[in-house]
Structure 1
């Protein structure tokens, strides 16, 4: 994420006024002005926005840690010249004294879920076999979860959830049965001697046996 975007989001989440921002952005050697703060907090599409360097963001986050947890004894660690999402995530975790379960709960507030094992990969040292780069989406969801907790009155209602109802399958109408065509019945063979059927050509009827008795002869 861009340093200006992170600064703008953290300021909004904790509702820091200009005096608090000046204190967090100033070092022992240099004190920033209200005009500088205003230019850093301008939107990305504003031509008057001044880019915030990684070292300036590191100073802000280190001072934020001290304001939350108190100053550490000994010399201050040197400011990082390059700051990535993993380091920003770690500094926010330290400042707010968060355990892994707390971070997962904050991510859940933004409707983002991940396992404890996946989360631990973001806080390992680069070069470790389980180290994983923290993408903008992860850090953005973490900051959004903090906003839900600390500024719930400033959360815009989400219109992304759309209720859908499953369509009931339409009942199929019983199809009308078509009348089956009757097969022509096979003609029965005519019995011999029937007068209704003409005999085939060349056919001769068999003579009936003579039934006269001997007395008639």
Structure 2
């Protein structure tokens, strides 16, 4: 976790607002370096202490999560659904290493919640990484819900498409096939279908190079960000 931890601590340092913050920050880093049972107990207490700044709880949860300490679970799930994408990414990294069976269920609940779609990118990516029983159904459900014209959350849909290709489960074929009709998703959907062994889409027969032209159009739209 060394690179990710350095990125986290560098970012948090920029958020410090007082000498007291700096003292607390340095203490957290000291606990992380020592990595002792007593240090982890102190970090766990920080997660539930009142009036602790968010950055302190984030660092404590990250350290504990990467160490496999399940006391970090609730805080990490809260951060996974946070409005700041960089905190979501940090939480997802720690949750992927936590080894808690509740993680996939929580990520699936966040990914499929239509009221939280704006914050669903990292839960979607986490589901693909976890390869849990909940992963494919949640990604399919999320992708199908986002296959509407001019949907503003196409990056979340794209993460679903890429994740389903990586998971290699043929239950995703209908949703991925539907995604090929969306310019911003077409190239990735075709690639994911190919990984699943689907190289010719329904209706491509007898169309000459029309299928190839559509695929090229999708690739071009994905590159320049155009299309619905």
Q: TM-score range by the shorter chain?
A: under 0.3
Say which structure is richer in helix.
2
Higher relative contact order, structure no. (Cα contacts within 8 Å, ≥ 6 residues apart): 1
